[in-house]
Amino acid sequence: MDIRIGYGWDSHAFKPGVPLKIGGLSIEHPEGLAGHSDGDVLLHAITDALLGAVSAGDIGSFFPPGDARWKDADSAIFLELAMAEIVNAGYRIVNVDTTLVLNAPKIGPISSDMREHVAELLGILPANVGIKAKTPEGLAADHVAQAHAVVLLERLEEPGDVQSMSAVMQSQRELEDVVRDLVSQVHGVAAKSPFDTEDIT
């Protein structure tokens, strides 16, 4: 069996007056995570793990933090592109395991909802998503949230499981439509495609 393993890590500082999103969920908390996009540390780590597993670069390669188009962007967009990359490479997700490192908020009470939402975004079963949380004891990182993610991919062996190129291209066009809609909502202007589909491996 042809398998790939990817590892991702991300970190964001807490900041007052910013909405908190982790794992695609909006969480009630006095502070959110500072970042150019929505600061979703967990989705960023998973995105990098997926991209790394198929040697497709990292999140910054596709969505540079200095690009105004991604200001306050929903990190689910980044994850969707990473999934298109692994399909393009002929792989699918077997499972994802993650660890959040933060003092607050407590993740335990919402870990089940977070796992289900991440599984939905990835198109896999919740049983194939692990979400754990630890405190940063001894790390001098009390005002920071970190996320570690490991993914396991397997190659699609059955011809029927592999998307045709036209299906892949359609997926990419749909991704671009989502990106354009997002940018339009954020900035109130029509946006051009953030990347050239010819550059997607």
Topology (CATH) of 3-199 = 60s Ribosomal Protein L30; Chain: A; (3.30.1330)
Instruction: Output the pLDDT for position 107.
Output: 95
User: Which residue type, as a one-letter code, is found at position 137?
Assistant: E
The C-alpha atoms of residue 147 and residue 33 are separated, in whole angstroms, by: 12
pLDDT at 196 > cutoff 50? no
DSSP code per residue over 110-160: GHHHHHHHHHHHHTS-GGGEEEEEE--TTTT-TTEEEEEEEEEEEE--SGG
User: What pTM was estimated for this model as a whole?
Assistant: 0.77
User: Tens digits of per-residue pLDDT, 96-151?
Assistant: 999 999 999 999 999 999 999 999 999 999 999 999 999 998 887 889 999 999 99
**Closest by Cα among 156, 142, 25, 134 to 89:** 156
Instruction: Output the pLDDT for position 110.
Output: 95
Burial class (CB in 10 A: 0-12, 13-18, 19+), 196: exposed
The more confidently predicted of residues 112 and 162 is 112
pLDDT at 159 > cutoff 50? no
